[in-house]
Amino acid sequence: MIDPDLPDRLFVALSGRTAPDPDHVFDPVSLIVAADHSGAGLGLEERAIIQACVRPLAVVEISAHLRLPLGAITVLLSGLLQQGHVSVRHPRTHTAARVGGTGFVSWQPPDLQLLERTLVALRNL
């Protein structure tokens, strides 16, 4: 894999790209599934992604397994998606019934303060 202390190697692995294609949006919890398991014509890092994604794997998990920055993984995934080597399963948007009404509103993430208090409580266990 790429040695994180060698920025030149990372630049080569990403073919000089610094961002994913604007049409490709990757949420850290989006699941990636390899569509083509051969990995023919791909670089070392791209083949490693294909091998890791035989089963659905979240973008953030790929980053952890390959020990690469999340931004670098999204750039690599963008190229793999464009070439048809992987498919992406985005998280579903949840809906909740509107209080006192009949319509639905988009699900909103929990309050950041609540998440921080939860994290502190978990660390204190």
pLDDT of residue 58: 92
Give me the DSSP letters along 113-125.
HHHHHHHHHHHH-
Give the CA distances from residue 22 to residues 51, 78, 119, in Å, rounded to whole numbers and listed in that order: 25, 9, 33
Q: How many residues belong to the chain? A: 125
pLDDT of residue 104: 46
Burial bucket for residue 103 (CB in 10 Å: 0-12, 13-18, 19+): exposed
Q: What is the mean pLDDT of each run of 10 residues along the chain (125 residues)?
A: 60 64 77 81 86 91 89 88 87 53 53 86 89
Assigned token pair, 56: 């659905």
pLDDT of residue 102: 45
pLDDT of residue 16: 58
HSE-CB of 44 using CA atoms within 13 angstroms: 9
Kindly list the domain boundaries of the chain, sorted by start residue.
1-125
